[in-house]
Amino acid sequence: MSDIAFLTRLRREVERRRTFAIISHPDAGKTTLTEKLLLFGGAIRMAGAVKAKKASRHATSDWMAIEKERGISVTSSVMQFDYDGFAVNLLDTPGHQDFSEDTYRVLTAVDSALMVIDSVKGVETQTRKLMDVCRLRDTPIMTFINKLDRDGRSPFELFDDIEGSLGIECAAMTWPIGMGKLFQGVYDIPQKMLRFFQAGEDKGARPRESVLVRGLDDPELDRQVGAQAADGLRHDIELLEGAGYPFDHGRYLAGKQTPVFFGSAVNNFGVRELLDAFLRHAPAPRPRQTETREVSPLEEPFSGVVFKIQANMDPAHRDRMAFLRVNSGCFTRGTRVSHQRTGKDMLVHNATIFMAQDRAHADEAWPGDIIGIPNHGTLRIGDTLCGREPLRYLGIPHFAPEHFRRVILKNPFKAKQMEKGLQQLTEEGAIQLFKPVTGREHILGAVGVLQFDVITERLRAEYDVHIAVEPINIAAVRWLTGESAVLDRMRRENASVMLTDSDGLPAMSFANEWRLEKAVEEWPQVAFLTARECVSA
């Protein structure tokens, strides 16, 4: 292929790609919406329901045993499908706050986000935290207000909640006609269409045909929804036009405005319209920042960054998979790349694309695509793979844990298996491993306490290692940076509380906030870090 032909195809492939994450507070309907998007995209034939333990079906994106048992998502899943000429990379993230570390890193690998809000509960705690992360990168966000088939808060109250709590303008794209038992459907504002809700036992049932109305004064509106509902809709739209925000594509792309859609994911209502609008308005892959310069997706040389490691997606083979976001050029099977952290070349000949835990060989991948590279400990979160130009992508963090536990091995003869399991599972980044410089203990740190249950269960199920975890007198850990002579003196004088993390980086533990403040005061030449880049020194 000539250079001109390649660049022409590169531009075409970039323009048709959409890479986004779905974010929400737990139980807002995020995983259900994910399933329905996959259903419309032809990626699955039957949408499963996330159910309690012993359920016969589970969400496609929930593939771990512990996810199926508890009915929650505990790790991010990547799903790729084609729809209406677009190549879609959809990342389903855990909603539970205890798994936010995984979610934060996934948000660094996407170009936009789809936020799900429960119409009954409105904006919730985890939604606020995720929004803060999106705001750091000015990530464009589209909103789906879910569960309109239940009695919930008024649309105007929900808009006030979103704008007040999240600091972003709401631009109504659809507007509900009634709610709960009186919910008839939505009015599509740009299209001037009535889209009717149809409840029933068949959750995959399609609503009856949409009806075009020639403005809100069209008598057809009264005939279709009734005079009372029609008058209520007219009143609401009049208020929106007077006090609301019209959709502004530029403000949406800048992360200052969120287009809002209403619907019911479990009933398939509003999902197709959401998907169509999302693919039409959401951004294609954008330039990405490295240490030295900004890299355009339209550049010919290949480059990408590892944002996630997952161990044992195929338990039979004890594999580890590195998830890499392609940022420029084209990946083809057999591509030789430079591993920037080690300075060594790698031949990548068996990369994969994903449908949750299902895989297919990736013959090629373009900017915005997510590929999996089998990994035996060589690749780490934050690693850059590229051509000859030395690039290092930025912005993939490790956060300081908030909860800590000491590991107790129940069977001492399993020490080697435990070391291997802890090493591989902590490579994923959701839970962190620290070791005292003066002892042989294994200390786990996590953002949320449920992570300790997850690693205990996964060690048992995936490595046949049984452990217990017990509280330890640590309230905080901070990474340390400074001149080597100062750090050496600090280690000698504080040996009993000094740690190293799994990358060999120095850290210090503190029994309480007072000790942390005192150390900061006593060592002004040292920086006490609450976050670090996911690249070892």
345 is in an annotated binding site: no
41 is in an annotated binding site: no
464 is in an annotated binding site: no
Q: What percent of the chain has pLDDT over 90?
A: 56
CATH topology of domain 397-533: Alpha-Beta Plaits (3.30.70)
The per-residue pLDDT for 1 is 67
Answer yes or no: are the C-beta atoms of 442 and 422 closer than 8 Å.
yes
332 is in an annotated binding site: no
The per-residue pLDDT for 537 is 42
Regions of the chain where pLDDT drops below 70: 1, 43-76, 94-101, 199-209, 312-319, 354-359, 534-537
Q: Which CATH superfamily is domain 95-281 in?
A: P-loop containing nucleotide triphosphate hydrolases (3.40.50.300)
The structure's pTM equals 0.81
Q: What is the 3-state secondary structure (H, E, C) of 119-132?
A: CCCECCHHHHHHHH
26 is in an annotated binding site: yes
**Are domains 95-281 and 397-533 of this chain identical in fold?**
no
Strand segments, DSSP code E, in 447-493 are 467-471, 476-481
| Domain range 288-386, its CATH number among 3.40.50.2000, 3.40.50.300, 1.20.140.10, 3.65.10.10 | 3.40.50.300
54 is in an annotated binding site: no
pLDDT tens digits, one per residue of 362-385: 789 999 999 989 887 788 888 999
The per-residue pLDDT for 310 is 80
344 is in an annotated binding site: no
Class of residue 377 by CB neighbours under 10 A (exposed 0-12, middle 13-18, buried 19+) = exposed
The per-residue pLDDT for 56 is 39
The per-residue pLDDT for 51 is 33
148 is in an annotated binding site: yes
User: Facing residues of 527 across strands?
Assistant: 481
**DSSP result, 412-433:** GGGHHHHHHHHHHHHTTSSEEE
The per-residue pLDDT for 49 is 33
351 is in an annotated binding site: no
What residue segments make up the domains of the chain, in order of their start?
95-281, 288-386, 397-533
Note the Cα 395 to chain centre separation in Å.
Answer: 15
Q: Are strands 141-146 and 112-118 parallel, antiparallel or unpaired?
A: parallel
42 is in an annotated binding site: no
How many helices (DSSP H) and strands (DSSP E) are in the chain? 14, 33
